[in-house]
Amino acid sequence: MIPTREILWNIGSISRIALLTLMVLPFAFIAFGLARRSSIWRRGKPEDRFGQWGTRLKGALVKSIFHGRIIRRNKLYAGIMHALIFGGFIILFIGTLIVALEDDITVPLFGWSFYRGDFYLGYKLVVNLGGVMLIVGVLMAFLRRFGLRPKIQETAADDLILLTMLLVLSVQGFVLQALRLAVERDPWAEWSWVSYPMAIPLQGLSEGTLRDLHWVNWWGHFVTTFVFLGYLAYSKMIHVFTSLTNVFFRRLRPMGELASIPDLEEAESFGIAAFEDFTWAQLMNADACMHCGRCLEYCPTFNTGKPLRPRDLVLQIAGYSADQGGIFSGEVGEGENSARFRWGVGAERSLIGEVVTPAELWDCTTCGACMEHCPVYIEHVPMIVGMRRNLVLEQGEFPEELVPMFNNLERLNSPYQFPQNQRADWTRKVGAPVPVMAEKAAAGEDVEVLFFVGCLGSFDSRSQQTTIALTRILQQAGINFAILGKEETCNGDPAKRVGNEYLAQMLAMQTVETLNQYSFKKIVTACPHCFNAIANEYPQIGGHYEVVHHSPLLNQLIEEGRIQLDPESALATGKVTYHDPCYIGRYNGVYDEPRGVVNALPGVELVEMGRNRNKSFCCGGGGGRMFMEETRGTRINQARVNEAIDTGAEVLCAACPFCMTMFEDGIKGVGAEETFAVKDLAELVAASMRVPTPAAPADGAAAAED
C-alpha cells in the first residue's frame, strides 16, 4: 500500500461546491480592504521610496520574513512567540496549497499524483509540526498577555479574536485528522504524530458518530478559515501585508536626517495639519503598526508618565486615516483602549487637537528610541516634527518658552542670549592661543581640522569646560586645527526639531556659507546635535563635509598613542558609567569608540547601565526639550541619573553638551551633588592626559641620551 489519503474524505460534492463558491467572499473582503488602504495611501503626498530594490528586498526578507528585527536578544520570548505563530501559519498555509495543487491541478489535469509515498509521510510530519508551532505560539501569546503582562502590552478584543482563531484553526486541523484516522486506521498513521494518538481514544466511538463529527468540524474549519480571511484586512492582521510592505519601502536615508520642507519660500502650507499633508509612506507607516509596543519600551515620555505614547500616536493616525478612507479598522470595543478604538469617530476631526494633542507633540525628545526598536520601521519622529512644523509655522502655537529661543536664534544666531562676538571668549581660559579659521586663511596657512564648538560649548560655562578640555587634547596631540570663532552660528538643529524649519534652514545655509569659505579636511565637534546636522542634513543644502564626533577622535588619538594617559590621574578613578547620547548613538551608530576611550582611562572601570547602547534612555534634552519646561509626568533626566547612580558608579560620562546640562540638573534634582558627578568624555581624557611640564622635555632628552 502506498501511503496517501483521500482528499476531502467524508465531504460530498455539494460541500465542495459550497466551499469553492463561497471563496468569493474572503477574496472580496481582502481585496476591498487592501484596495481601500492603497487608495488611502495614494492620497498622501509623494515621497521617493523607490530604487535600491535589492537592498529593499533583502531587508524585507531578512528583517521581516526571517524575523531579523523581531527576534532580538532582549526580546527572545516575544520574538520566538511571533516566529512560532508565523512559521506555523506559513507551514499550514503551504500545506493547504499543496493539497489544492494535488486535488485541483496535477491529478485532474495531468493525471499525476505526488501526494503519496515518502512525500506524503514527510508532509504529515511537517504539517503536524506546523500545527504544534501555531498552538504553542498562540498559548505563549496568551500567557504573555494574561500572565507576564509587560507594561508595554495592551490587550484589545481584536487581539484575542485573532489569536483564538489561529489556535482554533490548528486545533480543528488536528481534530479533523484524528477523526479521519479513527475511521480509516491508516497503517502509516503514526506519521501524523499529534493526531494519531488523538485518534486512539476516538476509536471508542461508532463510525457514524466519527463521520458526523468530522463533517461538522470540516464545516467549522471552513467557516473559521473564511471568517479569519475576511477579517484579516480589517484587523491588526493587516500587518501581514502592511508591515512587509513598510519594511520593503523603508527609508534608506540616514536615520538622523530629517527631511527639509522643499521650496520653503514658495510653500503654501507648512508641515502636517491634515490627512493629505502626510506622505504616502507615512500613511502606510500608520497601517503597518502591529501594536507590539516596542516603541514604548525605551521611550522617555512613556516611561515618565507623559501623554505621548508613540504607539498610540501612530494608531490614532491610523484610526484617523481609516475614517478618512471610509474603512473599518478592526476594533470591536469602543473605549477599551485609549487609541485604537478611535476609528469611526468621524472624518471631520482636526488632526492636531482632536486626533493628536499638542501635549503629545511637544513632549517628544526626538530621541529615536521608538524608530530604532520598531520591528517594521515606522518613523514616528518625522511625523511628530511635521505636525510641530504646522503648529509653529502656520498656527503660531507653541510653548511660550520657545519664544526667547526663536528670538535669540534670529537675532544672535544662538539659542542663548549671548552676542555673537562673545563666541570665542572661552579661548581665554585655555591658556594657549586657539587658532581661528579667518586668521589662518588670511595668513595662507592650511588647516587640517575645523573644531565646530557649538552654542553650548561656546557660551555655557559648564560646557565650556568640555570645549577647553577638547582644545587641550587637540593641542597636545599636535593636530593642526582652528575654530570659526565669531563666525560660528547655530547649526539650526534646535529650531529644526521644534518645527521652525524656516529658521533652521536660514541658520543651516548661513553655516554652510561660512564653512564653504574655508579649506579644511574634516570637522570635529563635541556636540552630537551639531554632528548629526552637519553630517546628515547639510548635504540636502549643498554642505558636504567629513565630520567626526570627538568620541571616535579621542579613541583614535589614544589608540595611535598621540596622547598619553597618566595612571596617577585623580579625576578618573573608580567606576564610571557611560551614557549613549541619542544623536551620536542611535542616530549615528557610535557606541564602541566612547567605550574604548573610557576603558583606556587608567584606574577606571566602565560599568554599564541597564539601558545602554541602542537601548539608551534619553537625557530629556533633545528635540528642543532642553528649552522647554517639563511639566508633565516625572523628570526624564532624574530617571536617567538615578539609573546611573544605581550602577554604583561615581561618575556619569556623557559625550553631549545637552546631556551634560540635563544631567547636571538631574543630579541636583535627586540631591546627589556631593556623591555623584557628570563629566564629558573629553574632560576625563584631558584630566588623565600626561601633559609635559617645562621640565619634562629635559627629562625626556636625558632619558633619550641614556
Partner 1 sequence: MSTVDEPQAAPEPRASAVRAFLDEHLRLVSAVAFVLGVAGLLVSELGDVHELRVFAAALISLAGVGFGIHTGLAGPRTLRVPAWLRSRRAAIGIISTVVAIAPAVVALVALLAGLAGDAGRDRSSMLMTLGSLIGVLMLAATLATGGLTIARINRAANEQPNPGDPAALDGEGAEA
Question: 3, 59, 300, 325: which one contacts partner 1 (CB under 8 A)?
Answer: 325
Question: 55, 338, 421, 564: which one contacts partner 1 (CB under 8 A)?
Answer: 338
Q: Which is nearer to partner 1, 201 or 542 (CB)?
A: 201
**From CA 505, how far away is CA 194, in angstroms rounded?**
65
**From CA 194, how far away is CA 131, in angstroms rounded?**
9
Nearest approach, Cβ of residue 538 and partner 1 (Å): 30
- Asked if residue 56 binds partner 1 (CB under 8 A), the reply is no
At residue 688, the 3 state secondary structure works out as: helix
> Which stretch, 81-89, 336-344, 459-467, 689-697, contacts partner 1 (CB under 8 A)?
336-344
Task: Draw the binding track, 476-515, toward partner 1 (x: CB under 8 A; -: no contact).
Answer: ----------------------------------------
Instruction: Decide: 258 and 19 in contact? Cβ < 8 Å.
Output: no
- Asked if residue 55 binds partner 1 (CB under 8 A), the reply is no
> Which stretch, 195-203, 441-449, 493-501, 545-553, contacts partner 1 (CB under 8 A)?
195-203
Q: Which is nearer to partner 1, 35 or 698 (CB)?
A: 35
DSSP-derived secondary structure letter, 187: T
**From CA 400, how far away is CA 495, in angstroms rounded?**
14
User: In degrees to the nearest 10, what's the CA dihedral of 530, 688, 461, 642?
Assistant: 80
- Asked if residue 264 binds partner 1 (CB under 8 A), the reply is no
User: In degrees to the nearest 10, what's the CA dihedral of 308, 313, 316, 320?
Assistant: 120
Size of the site for partner 1 (CB under 8 A): 107
Residue 419: count other Cβ atoms within 10 Å of its Cβ: 13
- Asked if residue 519 binds partner 1 (CB under 8 A), the reply is no
Of residues 571 through 600, those in contact with partner 1 by CB under 8 A are: none
- Asked if residue 202 binds partner 1 (CB under 8 A), the reply is yes
Q: Tell me the helices (H) and strands (E) count for the chain, helix number first.
A: 29, 8
Question: 139, 438, 670, 677: which one contacts partner 1 (CB under 8 A)?
Answer: 139
DSSP-derived secondary structure letter, 565: B
**From CA 568, how far away is CA 610, in angstroms rounded?**
30
**From CA 221, how far away is CA 215, in angstroms rounded?**
10
Question: 3, 10, 26, 376: which one contacts partner 1 (CB under 8 A)?
Answer: 26
> Which stretch, 34-42, 252-260, 439-447, 456-464, contacts partner 1 (CB under 8 A)?
34-42
Question: 3, 4, 30, 115: which one contacts partner 1 (CB under 8 A)?
Answer: 30
Of residues 93 through 132, those in contact with partner 1 by CB under 8 A are: 104-105, 107-109
Q: Which is nearer to partner 1, 42 or 429 (CB)?
A: 42
- Asked if residue 24 binds partner 1 (CB under 8 A), the reply is yes
Nearest approach, Cβ of residue 459 and partner 1 (Å): 26
In the structure grid, which three cell numbers stand for residue 529, read together? 546635535
Residues in a beta bridge with 16: none
Question: 150, 201, 567, 602: which one contacts partner 1 (CB under 8 A)?
Answer: 201
- Asked if residue 698 binds partner 1 (CB under 8 A), the reply is no
Of residues 169 through 188, those in contact with partner 1 by CB under 8 A are: 171-172, 174-175, 178-179, 182
**Residue 133 to residues 190, 230, 599, 695: CA-CA distances in angstroms?**
19, 23, 45, 74
Of residues 360 through 419, those in contact with partner 1 by CB under 8 A are: 360-363, 397-400
Question: 55, 74, 96, 203: which one contacts partner 1 (CB under 8 A)?
Answer: 203
What element of type H or E holds 450? strand 449-452
- Asked if residue 624 binds partner 1 (CB under 8 A), the reply is no
Question: 60, 199, 258, 654: which one contacts partner 1 (CB under 8 A)?
Answer: 199
Nearest approach, Cβ of residue 456 and partner 1 (Å): 24
Nearest approach, Cβ of residue 191 and partner 1 (Å): 14
**Residue 333 to residues 18, 71, 155, 157: CA-CA distances in angstroms?**
33, 30, 11, 7
- Using the structure block, give the residue that is written with the C-alpha cell 483564538: 164
Sheet with 604-607: list strands edge to edge: 604-607, 574-578, 651-654, 677-680
In the structure grid, which three cell numbers stand for residue 598, read together? 573610557
Residue 145: count other Cβ atoms within 10 Å of its Cβ: 16
- Asked if residue 216 binds partner 1 (CB under 8 A), the reply is yes
Of residues 625 through 644, those in contact with partner 1 by CB under 8 A are: 631-632
Q: Which is nearer to partner 1, 345 or 441 (CB)?
A: 345
- Asked if residue 148 binds partner 1 (CB under 8 A), the reply is no
At residue 377, the 3 state secondary structure works out as: coil
Q: Which is nearer to partner 1, 29 or 377 (CB)?
A: 29
Q: Which of 548, 541, 481 is nearest to 513 (CA)?
A: 541
Instruction: Decide: 464 and 458 in contact? Cβ < 8 Å.
Output: yes
